[in-house]
Amino acid sequence: MPDDELVRKHHPLHFVGQFNSSSKFKFSRQLVKGKIVFCMTQGHVNRLSLGAVLKRNGAVAMIISHGIIDPNGIVSEPHVIPTISVGIKAAKQIEDYIISSYKQTPKAKISSQGTIPMHARPAPIVASFSSRALPPILDESTGNAATPFEIGAGHLLPIKAMVPGSKPHCSNDGVWELNYPAIAVEAERVWHRDRPVVITRKLKTVNVGSAEYEAKIVGPKGYYKVEVKSKRVKFSGMSEVVSFRVFIEKDNGVLQERKKLNLWFGAVVWREIGGKHEVKCPIVIFSKEYTGGWGD
Do 24 and 100 belong together in one domain? yes
Of 211, 251, 202, nearest to 230 by C-alpha is 202
Do 162 and 272 belong together in one domain? yes
**Element spanning 160, H or E:** helix 158-161
Total structural domains in the chain?
Answer: 2
- 108, 140, 169 - which closes a domain: 108
Residue 161 in this model has a pLDDT that exceeds 50: no
Structure confidence by residue, pLDDT tens digits, 43-76: 778 888 888 899 999 999 999 998 888 888 777 6
Residue 116 lies in a domain: no
pLDDT in the model for residue 34: 94
Cα–Cα distances in Å, from 35 out to 53, 58, 80, 224, 274?
13, 8, 15, 34, 48
* 81, 6 Cβ separation under 8 angstroms: no
Mean pLDDT, the chain, integer? 75
- What band does 290 get if pLDDT is binned at 50, 70 and 90? low
CB atoms within 10 A of CB 73: 18
Residue 131 lies in a domain: no
Residue 201 in this model has a pLDDT that exceeds 60: yes
- 74, 91, 108 - which closes a domain: 108
CB atoms within 10 A of CB 87: 16
Containing structural domain, residue 265? 157-286
Residue 195 in this model has a pLDDT that exceeds 60: yes
- What band does 197 get if pLDDT is binned at 50, 70 and 90? very high
Do 76 and 166 belong together in one domain? no
- 49, 74, 108 - which closes a domain: 108
Taken in order 245, 249, 253, 258, is the CA torsion positive or negative? positive
- What band does 143 get if pLDDT is binned at 50, 70 and 90? low
Residue 131 in this model has a pLDDT that exceeds 70: no
pLDDT in the model for residue 134: 38
Structure confidence by residue, pLDDT tens digits, 210-236: 889 999 999 888 788 999 998 999 888
More confident position, 263 or 130 = 263
> Which CATH number fits the domain that encloses residue 79?
3.50.30.30
The C-alpha angle with vertex 74 and arms to 140 and 52, in degrees rounded to 5, equals: 75
Cα–Cα distances in Å, from 244 out to 53, 181, 282?
29, 14, 14
Residue 160 in this model has a pLDDT that exceeds 80: no
pLDDT in the model for residue 236: 85
- What band does 158 get if pLDDT is binned at 50, 70 and 90? very low
Residue 117 in this model has a pLDDT that exceeds 70: no
pLDDT in the model for residue 174: 40
Do 161 and 282 belong together in one domain? yes
> Model-level pTM greater than 0.85?
no
Amino acid at the residue 15: F
> Which CATH number fits the domain that encloses residue 226?
2.60.40.2310
Report percent pLDDT > 90 for the chain: 22
pLDDT in the model for residue 46: 81
Strand partners, 169: 204
pLDDT in the model for residue 164: 43
CB atoms within 10 A of CB 95: 15
More confident position, 241 or 115 = 241
pLDDT in the model for residue 93: 93
Q: Cβ contacts of residue 197 below 8 Å, gap of 6+? A: 185, 189, 190, 247, 248, 249
CB atoms within 10 A of CB 236: 11
Residue 90 lies in a domain: yes
